[in-house]
């Protein structure tokens, strides 16, 4: 098994190749958008990017497995597993809204060890290795130190794939909106996570995310000094679930709010 730094090199190379594949494509017309679920689109651009990314990852580490959103959505937790979202923020991409990314997390026997999020429109690479800190390029990342929820800026995403969760989510949203400085929703969970890691957001919550949405960003947040858990405070993220992130103080506050609001 390669060392974490070697794995980071492989993951970064894969992310760059995937991002370039996306840039090289003509943005699909609306009649070429396939619908996976309610407001959940996929195109040949996503599928092609995942193929490119997967090839680079398995060429770099032949005994590894790719768990990807589009082509390989199966559970895998033994050995080195790459958890890949080839185009996080597909709807943004399809509309030309500049918030979409490649997200690649690497986990060994279920434990995250490397994470890369590449902001495609801005060509920014955020990355982390376990025990090696979190970085934007060569610039270290650190979560905010803000402790007063009334001053906090919080990121979120609504449960568009699970409309039945919307009433509960709206209760949470109403509570958090009235107790903080503001709430933002850009439509790419991996980029929301790096906003927490760099201190742009003080916290974040979203119901029903997939492992490829959060694997890379979770490690980046944790290595930047922050916390990522499910709503019950459990730290496992390589699975589907409801997730909360933030600096330690705001993360704890959000957990309390989510627990005290509708269950």
Distances (CA, A) of 24 to 21, 57, 96, 176: 5, 20, 14, 40
Distances (CA, A) of 146 to 141, 171, 257: 15, 24, 17
Q: Which domain holds residue 153?
A: 149-260
- The CATH number of residue 177's host domain is 3.40.190.80
Element at 219 (helix H, strand E): helix 211-223
Instruction: Kindly state whether residues 19 and 87 are assigned to the same domain.
Output: yes
User: Strand 134-136 vs strand 124-129: parallel, antiparallel, or unpaired?
Assistant: antiparallel
24: which 2 tokens?
Answer: 């090289």
pLDDT at residue number 164: 87
Of 140, 162, 185, which residue sits at a domain end? 140
Helical axes 44-60 vs 4-24, angle rounded to 10°: 150
- The CATH number of residue 32's host domain is 3.30.540.10
pLDDT at residue number 260: 74
pLDDT at residue number 17: 98
Yes or no: say if 93 and 74 are a contact pair by the CB < 8 Å rule.
no
Number of domains in the chain: 2
Distance CA 144, CA 51 (A): 36
pLDDT at residue number 193: 98
Instruction: Kindly state whether residues 211 and 132 are assigned to the same domain.
Output: no
Helix, strand, coil share of the chain (percent; to 5) = 40, 25, 35
Distance CA 20, CA 173 (A): 36
pLDDT at residue number 263: 44
Tens of pLDDT, residue by residue, the chain (263 residues):
579 999 999 999 999 999 999 999 888 777 665 655 555 567 888 889 999 999 999 999 999 999 987 656 555 567 999 999 999 999 999 999 999 999 999 999 999 999 999 999 999 999 999 999 999 999 999 999 999 999 999 999 988 777 888 899 999 999 999 999 999 999 999 999 999 999 999 999 999 999 999 999 999 999 999 999 999 999 999 898 999 999 999 999 999 999 876 44
Q: What does R_g of the chain's alpha carbons equal in angstroms?
A: 17
Of 94, 114, 140, which residue sits at a domain end? 140
35: which 2 tokens?
Answer: 């619908």
């Amino acid at each position: 098994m390669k060392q974490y730094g070697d794995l980071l090199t492989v993951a970064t190379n894969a992310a760059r190749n995937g991002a370039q594949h996306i840039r090289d494509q003509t943005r699909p017309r609306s009649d070429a958008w396939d619908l996976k679920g309610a407001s959940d689109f996929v195109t040949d651009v996503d599928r092609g990017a995942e193929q490119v990314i997967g090839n680079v990852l398995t060429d770099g580490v032949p005994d590894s497995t790719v768990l990807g959103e589009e082509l390989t959505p199966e559970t895998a937790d033994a050995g080195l597993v790459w958890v890949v979202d080839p185009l996080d923020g597909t709807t943004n991409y399809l509309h030309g809204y500049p918030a979409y990314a490649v997200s690649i997390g690497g986990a060994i026997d279920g434990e995250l060890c490397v994470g890369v999020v590449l902001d495609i429109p801005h060509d920014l690479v955020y990355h982390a290795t376990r025990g090696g800190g979190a970085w934007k390029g060569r610039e270290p990342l650190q979560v905010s130190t803000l402790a007063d929820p009334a001053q906090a800026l919080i990121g979120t995403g609504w449960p568009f794939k699970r409309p039945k969760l919307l009433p509960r989510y709206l209760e949470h949203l109403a509570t958090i909106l009235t107790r903080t400085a503001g709430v933002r929703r850009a439509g790419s969970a991996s980029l929301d996570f790096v906003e927490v890691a760099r201190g742009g957001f003080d916290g974040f919550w979203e119901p029903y995310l997939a492992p490829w949405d959060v694997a890379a960003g979770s490690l980046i947040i944790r290595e930047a000094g922050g916390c990522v858990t499910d709503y019950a405070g459990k730290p496992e993220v390589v699975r589907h679930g409801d997730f909360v992130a933030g600096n330690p103080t705001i993360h704890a506050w959000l957990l309390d709010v989510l627990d005290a609001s509708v269950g």
